[in-house]
């Protein structure tokens, strides 16, 4: 078993650095839900429907990217002991820049505006190039001791590759060059969903799950295997002849890891915590993703069976929802409900004189409010999964439900920030 990790909170960046990345993100989730509810819903849930492509990038870039980058700015110094140089300057542009990139791509997909792809590609190169450079500079100094530090060491390279593939596709749509779109798209999706999102979720959860939900600490095998075991199949996917094998290999790895994680979460000591169910659904989502992604290839080679058109068309939608919402939004919502109150508590404790009382995490953000938020986002997740059955009816309901769940989360986080400012003001007045 891995030893207890020592976290260095003295190296934690300023609250403005982290809050600037994390707090705006749920509101981009609100806009994504409204886009689904009231956008052009023709051809849903087809994988290449303009609205599907716009929603995917609004969620992945506008909402998830700032949260994950902010998490790296926090975890690299606290967990790995390496501060990210310039993080306080870059953080001011991460949320807004990511939202603008998502907006540019959405205009390109929905309206066919070439300038949207050009704007998004140029801005992504500048913003994410600066982020990658800052992360790589810190990552190369990290001493690897477990799966979390190994993830932090290598995750900037995965981010760089995902961004490079995305810019290549944007340039193709902008008319800058002519590349094999489907080859690049498969790599962009595979690396984005697995080597960036899933790897970062698993790497961070290896530390935060035992810390906040008192799960069993990951075994030594788990610590040594990640993230390499997730990346190897996607490295093989660069060879076109090996892509089907790489897909099945990746599905097998993801299913086994998700199964281990599901059992671990199920046995957590803090199962009464409002966000525990979000983690359980997250691990189940990855198991379902692996099975659904492998299903067409397995059926084709085993018995020559071809799935019905309705199922074939719905599969990419289900896989995207399972990964982006079930595998990313749910754990991100769970972590925001813990990390923000924890940061408020930690920074107040550091700035409050000895002997003066500091509000607990539960006082900063009451668990009952988190419970209602968790129920709201799970309802939205269920409606999104059902959407292919009746797109005309469920798109609006699912979009509104998702917007409400993220607006509620965003409001809770603002309340936490206001509580922090109130308590800090009281400390200064006392001094």
Q: Structure pTM?
A: 0.92
Q: Which of 41-55, 243-257, 301-315 has the lowest mean pLDDT?
A: 301-315
pLDDT of residue 387: 96
Domain CATH for 233 = 1.20.210.10
Task: Looking at 213-275, list the stretches that DSSP marks H as alpha helix, in order from N- to C-terminal side.
Answer: 220-225, 228-236, 243-266
CA nearest to 175, candidates 112, 97, 128, 123: 112
The verdict on residue 90 lying in a domain is yes
pLDDT greater than 60 at residue 2: no
Query: pLDDT tens digits, residue range 368-413?
Result: 999 999 999 999 999 999 999 999 899 999 999 999 999 999 999 9
How crowded is residue 111: how many other Cβ atoms within 10 Å of its Cβ? 13
Q: What percent of the chain stands above pLDDT 70?
A: 97
The verdict on residue 389 lying in a domain is yes
**Confidence at 304, pLDDT banded by 50, 70, 90:** low
pLDDT greater than 60 at residue 140: yes
The verdict on residue 4 lying in a domain is no
- Which structural domain range is residue 395 located in? 12-430
pLDDT of residue 370: 92
Q: Which of 96-105, 303-312, 359-368 has the highest mean pLDDT?
A: 96-105
The verdict on residue 35 lying in a domain is yes
The verdict on residue 209 lying in a domain is yes
What mean pLDDT is predicted for residues 345-355?
A: 78
pLDDT of residue 4: 45
The verdict on residue 3 lying in a domain is no
DSSP string, 321-353: HIIIIIIIIHHHHHHHHHHHHHHHHHHHHHHSP
Quote the number of domains for the chain.
1
Give per-residue burial for 405-428: e unless 16+ CB within 10 Å, then b. Answer: bbbbbbebbeebbebbeebbeeee
Query: pLDDT tens digits, residue range 305-318?
Result: 777 888 888 999 99
CA nearest to 410, candidates 314, 337, 307: 337
What mean pLDDT is predicted for residues 29-33?
A: 97
210 and 216 in contact (C-beta within 8 Å)? Answer: yes
The verdict on residue 6 lying in a domain is no
DSSP 360: -
What is the C-alpha separation between 254 and 248, in angstroms, rounded? 10
pLDDT of residue 10: 78
pLDDT greater than 50 at residue 276: yes
Query: pLDDT tens digits, residue range 189-228?
Result: 999 999 999 999 999 888 888 888 888 988 888 888 888 9
> Which element (helix H / strand E) includes 7?
none
The verdict on residue 157 lying in a domain is yes
């Amino acid at each position: 078993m891995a030893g207890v990790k020592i976290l260095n909170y003295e190296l934690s960046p300023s609250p403005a650095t982290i809050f600037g990345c994390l707090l705006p993100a749920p509101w981009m989730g609100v806009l994504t839900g409204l886009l689904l509810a009231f956008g052009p819903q023709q051809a849903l849930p087809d994988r290449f429907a303009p609205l599907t492509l716009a929603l995917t990038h609004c969620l992945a870039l506008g909402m998830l990217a700032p949260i994950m980058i902010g998490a790296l700015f926090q975890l690299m110094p606290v967990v790995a002991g390496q501060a990210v140089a310039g993080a306080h300057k870059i953080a001011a542009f991460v949320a807004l820049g990511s939202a603008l990139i998502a907006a540019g791509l959405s205009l390109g997909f929905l309206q066919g505006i070439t300038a949207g792809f050009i704007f998004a590609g140029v801005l992504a190169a500048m913003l994410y190039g600066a982020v990658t450079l800052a992360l790589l500079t810190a990552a190369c100094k990290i001493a690897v001791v477990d799966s979390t530090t190994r993830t932090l060491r290598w995750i900037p390279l995965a981010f760089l590759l995902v961004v490079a593939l995305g810019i290549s596709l944007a340039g193709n749509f902008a008319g800058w060059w002519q590349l094999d779109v489907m080859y690049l798209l498969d790599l962009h999706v595979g690396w984005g969903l697995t080597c960036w999102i899933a790897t970062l979720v698993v790497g961070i959860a290896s530390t935060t799950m035992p810390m906040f939900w008192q799960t069993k600490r990951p075994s030594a095998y788990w610590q040594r295997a990640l993230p390499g075991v997730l990346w190897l199949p996607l490295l093989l996917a660069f060879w076109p002849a090996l892509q089907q094998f790489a897909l099945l290999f990746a599905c097998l790895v993801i299913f086994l890891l998700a199964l281990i994680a599901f059992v671990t979460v199920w046995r957590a000591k803090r199962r009464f915590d409002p966000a525990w169910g979000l983690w359980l659904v997250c691990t189940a989502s990855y198991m379902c993703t692996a099975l659904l992604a492998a299903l067409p290839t397995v059926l084709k080679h085993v018995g020559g069976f071809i799935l019905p058109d309705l199922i074939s068309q719905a599969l990419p939608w289900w896989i995207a929802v399972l990964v982006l919402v079930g595998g990313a939004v749910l754990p991100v919502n769970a972590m925001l409900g813990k990390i923000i109150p924890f940061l408020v508590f930690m920074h107040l404790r550091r700035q409050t004189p000895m002997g003066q009382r500091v509000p607990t995490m539960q006082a900063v953000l009451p668990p009952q409010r988190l419970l209602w938020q968790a129920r709201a986002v799970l309802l939205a997740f269920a409606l999104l999964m059902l959407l292919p059955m009746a797109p005309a009816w469920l798109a609006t309901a699912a979009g509104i439900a998702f917007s409400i769940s993220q607006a509620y989360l965003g409001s809770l986080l603002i309340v936490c920030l206001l509580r922090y400012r109130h308590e800090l003001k009281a400390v200064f007045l006392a001094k």
